[in-house]
Chains A and B, each alone.
Chain A
């Protein structure tokens, strides 16, 4: 009680954005994100000054969780980006950079904030409508008959995470593994509602990423007592599996709230063990060849089963239970009772059990019978940090591929979507806007200024991909982003120094014209590039980017709309 004290009055600051310190913090924040963006982004090392774990990363999720944000405005920004990532796993940096850019640009304008907000909101709607249109010029339909576009999607996610430290070849290898794993999780016959399978990630450090491999079924730790010779007893047509989710340790459990009194010389444990062995006897007579248990198995039972050539896998953990039951042919049900006889319909079937050496580890590979939607992706990388980053990246890539099932589109990556959208909006706005749309108090000039700040923010995201002093260009037909060398001689035509656009869809031989991105160029209506046979497109997830765009604009609007910051200082 003595430590209770009166609550202090909250700290109340008016117009937080008018404070230079806040703007400075925001600029630093933006600088961090911008420098991480894209395949050539710079890495960040996160550590605290009292020692402990050091993380090297350029991923927005890790970065945002690791960075301590002092100011409420930054907290708000962080929270909204993290929320986006938790739903979509991708485009976090895009959202953060765009949001910061929108705020900074809006502040430089000499317009009342309310008007800027209205214009931003209006333009967001324009963008959304355009992206959802059939004739949208920066969107491609994903062809599920061909793995090319899926591969591109996965590759863009993996290649844009430089902290994985992968070579070009390794990127290719890992992205093809992720796509294979994803395809494996989609069931073959699709009727009614489809339930996707699961990819289980297993990671081993100290090996090259090229050693990563995909395994059918599940990879589990090799049980201690098991040797390769034990597998020779297996019937290789069908292996019956019994899956337990209750503890088989033989402890007296669930005795209720009351007290238990045991008469002298009586051993309840022995009684329970007898039940366990009775169950063991039953499953042996049922022809079970593999007993898998989520928790611990009593050593006596283990020994007993081993003598009868039943393989025992214990301490499976809750995360592997669902995939294991999913991959057995009829669907093994986790059994929760050893006290009563096990019904035969709980057993599942596997086709084989193999010992695989993966990296430096010996692992047991449970191979499903027939078609299964469960597979294990074994990932290797040189050290712990890069491995962690790779694992996270692959999970994100897999999620992005899953999202593509819902809306089968992809957007051009490499900054092309951003510049294209900016060009589209500039063109749309130059033809004038319906004044009544924005209500009174908004003059056409103000509208133009705010729209310009919106477009510049979009373009600045595209420009952020450039880290090595290069110049960002935009072509005047499709509005894609090109990167040219910085400080090129003014008399050399752009055509001679550029090769491919950011997403790889266009090349320089198509009779295009270029201007510097963000400079004064003529307004034009960007078009969809003609179908090309370009192999290595850079594609971004459509749902993730669309949501990131919305989140970025909405968050920027919120921050711009702030009149007060009230801080509880207790």
Chain B
């Protein structure tokens, strides 16, 4: 407390008010996770009994074992989610890195309109375009394959990736390009050897946000364009726990936690990049 500036010192009742406020806020954010975790520890019979009990009796991790047995394909769903997200991220990066470099470093006629057009794409969700996309996927012969989820997934992640990376690349000093040209470097050489190494942290941020976007938002395309269970990603695969009679809630929750663990690990280690990267594109420079 000694080095805290005077302006940041709180009286006791201010502290109480702030912690109370944070507690209320985080309760809203986290209660589904807490409840979901407790559900995963309860035996099914206890879940379906009244009156409601918040804390489990005889808590056990049994559901984390049985979930693999009742839905044998679950490991496959996690793999599919990862596979789809990684391929999507790689394709997005290949398309977006050159494009955002062009937007950041070159002036050309129609640039403003094109950038606006990319932003507009961001605003049309896949849901509006499902019918023609369905027909397009059918005529390309990729319905019920990984590509049915990868191809549209990429398109809707491109705009925000361009926007983010462009703001990052604008900050790279123009003198670097000019120095490279003066030394006789070609455009491609400059991009590959001068710009890319400097832009790496920005590219990593874009890769992370794209991966999370792909991992989190695979639902509608997977629901509509794929009906083969061997290609299902996690969000759709979880419906396997919805039995004919009842939902196996404890296993569904256990499976959800197993499924989100990788994403949680990622944000835990990369949170600094994430918060910075998220807001860099949003707050005006």
Partners in one complex: no
User: A residues bordering B, Cβ < 8 Å?
Assistant: none
